[in-house]
Each structure stands twice: as C-alpha cells, then as structure tokens.
Amino acid sequence: MSDSDKTNNPDSPNVGVVVKSRPKTRKPAMYKVLMLNDDYTPMEFVVHVLERFFQKSRDEATRVMMHVHKRGVGVCGVYTYEVAETKVTQVMDLARQNQHPLQCTIEKD
C-alpha cells in the first residue's frame, strides 16, 4: 500500500512527528536604580532604604550607602522597567514622608 493510500484509509492510525515550535523571544531591557548623594539625608535612613527595598544585608547596604556618600551616585539594583519604577516610587515616598531630600533615579542598563 502506498503512503497516500494510508492517508486516506479511515482505519489507519495518524502517525506524525511532534515538532516543538520555538517562537522568537526577547530578554526584557534592564534598568539600574541609582541613588544620589545629598547633604541632609541621614546615613542610617539610606541604609534602611537599601535593606527594605533592595534586599541588601546591613553590611552591603552600608557599603552602597558609603559609596554614594563618597562618589555622589551608586547602583541599588538592576530590574525590569516596571520593577525599577516601583522601587523609585517607594524610596521617594518614604523619603518624602520623613522629610528627607533623598533622590533616586532610573538609568537604562
């Protein structure tokens, strides 16, 4: 029996190869959340912010805070746009509530 006969025979099982499609995907663009130095925000507040919103240990938070204090700017973390935007809002809201001028911004990685 030829292949085309089998195709038309209602009693013949349908045999095929499963092919997994691999649709083209793109890694999301990543954004750095930057913390800026100022003369008024207490060091302890900055360390608290880094622990609370950026999951830093006390040691790492202190290291990042001191880097910003000395160099003027530092990276808190790298995230997708929405997450980075949320972190900036959370930091700025808490700073405002406590009347600190702490500034935080986003930069494309």
Question: Where on the chain is the footprint of ligand TYC (CB under 6 A)?
Answer: 35-39, 41-43, 46, 65, 68-69, 102
User: Smallest gap, in angstroms, from Cβ of residue 96 to ligand TYC?
Assistant: 14
Which residue number, 31 or 46, has a Cβ lying nearer to ligand TYC? 46
Which residue number, 28 or 42, has a Cβ lying nearer to ligand TYC? 42
DSSP annotation of 76? E
Which residue number, 28 or 43, has a Cβ lying nearer to ligand TYC? 43
User: Smallest gap, in angstroms, from Cβ of residue 28 to ligand TYC?
Assistant: 27
User: Smallest gap, in angstroms, from Cβ of residue 100 to ligand TYC?
Assistant: 8
Distance of CA 3 to the CA centre of its chain: 54
CB 79 within 8 A of CB 30: yes
Alpha helices for 72-108 (secondary structure H): 81-97
User: Smallest gap, in angstroms, from Cβ of residue 82 to ligand TYC?
Assistant: 23
| 78: nearest Cα among 59, 96, 55, 58 | 55
Sign of the CA dihedral with 56 first, then 62, 66, and 72 last: positive
